[in-house]
Chains A and B, each alone.
Chain A
Amino acid sequence: MSVVIIGAGQAGLQLADSLRTEGYDGKIEVIGEEFGVPYQRPPLSKDYLAPGKEAAPLPLRGPSFFLDKHITLHAGVRALTVDRPERTVKTTEGMLEYDHLVFATGARNRMLSCPGALLPGVHGLKTLSDAEALHMALPAARNIVIIGAGFIGLEFAAAALAHGCNVTVLEFAPRPMGRALTPVMSEWFAGALRSQGISLRLDEGIERFEPGTDGRVAAAISTSGASYPADLVLVGIGVQPNDTLARDSGIETSNGIVVDETLRTADPAILAIGDCANFPSAHSLGNLRLESVQNATDQGRHAARTILGTESPYNALPWFWSTQGPYKLQMAGIPQPNDDILILGDQSEAKFSVLCFRQGILAAVESVNNAADHMAARKLLSAGTAITRNLVESEGFTLKAATREVSLVSPVP
């Protein structure tokens, strides 16, 4: 038997690793577009950009991983076409045969198309080489404009502040991190970012960039007509799933590669996992595509079991984190617009949690600088424990204490 995995990121390598752990002894081939050793992405927008640090990528696996586990890594290779009847993948290096094919192709940055978007000094942040360029540029930068107040934009804003730069963030939506966070958390962050000295411009998009006499970016002109000086620009306006190859192979795509609850596409020999996969989730109101380490690794582990014949639905609790200067944001579950909200803790002390109730039951928790709440929420939500709003409002309630009480009746695996 042979498994071909397209993508050498967190999801693809976890799958390869888990296949071996679960006892699979057939051929495993991993196709990775980037040259070199596969690396972890989360530090690229955090530690990697911190002042005075010698940046080094953190590998996803140790140096002997591929040899020890008999996994072939085709680095610097692109998958070009998939022949489903023949079960082959044509790559830039030749043909690979598969019994199971897994798309772990991730996502790519959305690009700006406005005038000046390609000027020197305008950066994106996704790959190690993007991060290297920013690591080099940051110490000399003064005025930084960030397009997009999402996680990447705001993590970069924190790094830029730490380098002593003036930071302006343009966000065309009315609140930061608006797609992922509850309005109450999003608005708290808006205030917190501004009190740190970040100039957060909401409801304001980018119109164009203007070059200086040296040909590099010098100013960002916003949709309101304002001009912001900029010697370095970061564009962080989200990502698009890498689903073109799957679509061209006749696999259904719709904001990602569509899979069922076992992570299989309609072709039972083909699966999709990680940022590129659109899957049904019990934790939200419909299908989901998640961009997170947790989702990539948990789906990698699950897909290994699916390939080896365990037909169980994927239902891992989504969780996520972002580090932005002094703020550690952690989320468990997925907030929905109609959730009933309750705040635990002290917003003025920057240590609190936002609890989201659906039909009266706890369904998602966002925390700032409150790891205890976050870890407890993960336990409670993973165990499917029914925490009611009434219980939370009772005297002396904490999420952590609740984990001890409910674990008696509902053990956490």
Chain B
Amino acid sequence: MPSVTYTQPNGTQQTLQVESGTTLMRAAVNNGVDGIIGECGGQAMCATCHVYVRPEYAQALPDISDDEDEMLDCATAERTDSSRLACQIQLNAELSEIVVDIPVGQL
């Protein structure tokens, strides 16, 4: 089963094993991971599931769509080169493991 590790701003980490096909946002909301809200339910509409992907996983990520790109520009926390919306990243055979950092604020 793919695994995802969420790192809180204070450094604490939580690792979840999830079904293939699950998005990082859904896994977080399903399991009550703090700091990922997903208010729009995963449509790239609200930018409240912003995460920073650790660089070693960058290569396995899907491309950023125009919509995601534009939403990230307007996320509450600072956008960096590793910023993504957790609702747009799916765990699967190609991306079976990932570590992300959660920003200080989503709203």
Contact = CB atoms under 8 A, between A and B. Distances in A.
Interface string A24-61: 00000000000000001111001100000010001101
Nearest to B65: A371
B103 interface: no
A375 B74 contact: yes
A59 B71 contact: no
Given A43-B41, A62-B32, A321-B40, A369 B71 contact: no
A64 B67 contact: no
Interface in A297-330: 297, 321, 323, 328, 330
A372 B68 CA distance: 10
A69 B70 CA distance: 35
Contacts of A41: 41
Nearest to A293: B39
B74 A63 contact: no
Given A371-B70, A372-B73, A375-B74, A293 B30 contact: no
A294 B74 CA distance: 16
A52 B73 CA distance: 32
Contacts of B26: 58
Determine chain B's interface SS by DSSP, over half rule.
loop
Interface string B43-60: 111010000000000000
B29 interface: yes
B71 A62 contact: no
Interface string A144-155: 000000000000
B38 to A, nearest CB: 7
A59 B74 contact: no
B43 to A, nearest CB: 5
A379 interface: yes
Please tell me the size bucket of the interface on A. Answer: 20 to 34
Interface in A151-168: none
B10 interface: no
A375 B70 CA distance: 8
Contacts of A372: 70, 73-74
B31 interface: yes
Interface in A342-400: 369-372, 375-376, 378-379, 400
A159 to B, nearest CB: 14
Contacts of A370: 70
Interface in B62-97: 66-67, 70-71, 73-74
A346 to B, nearest CB: 14
A47 B40 CA distance: 12
Contacts, number: 70
A47 B42 CA distance: 9
Contacts of B45: 321, 323, 328, 330, 371
A65 interface: yes
Contacts of A64: 32
B86 to A, nearest CB: 13
B99 interface: no
Given A59-B29, A64-B32, A375 B39 contact: no
A62 B6 CA distance: 15
A117 B96 CA distance: 48
A400 B29 CA distance: 30
A352 B61 CA distance: 29
A41 B67 CA distance: 22
A89 B69 CA distance: 48
A399 to B, nearest CB: 11
A263 to B, nearest CB: 19
30 contacts: A40-B38, A40-B41, A42-B40, A42-B41, A43-B41, A47-B42, A58-B30, A58-B42, A61-B32, A62-B29, A62-B30, A62-B32, A62-B33, A65-B32, A294-B39, A321-B40, A321-B45, A323-B45, A328-B43, A328-B45, A369-B67, A370-B70, A371-B44, A371-B66, A371-B71, A372-B70, A372-B73, A375-B71, A375-B73, A376-B74
Given A43-B41, A65-B32, A323-B43, 18 more contacts: A42-B41, A47-B41, A54-B21, A58-B26, A58-B38, A58-B41, A62-B31, A62-B33, A63-B32, A64-B32, A68-B32, A294-B39, A369-B67, A372-B74, A375-B70, A375-B73, A379-B74, A400-B73
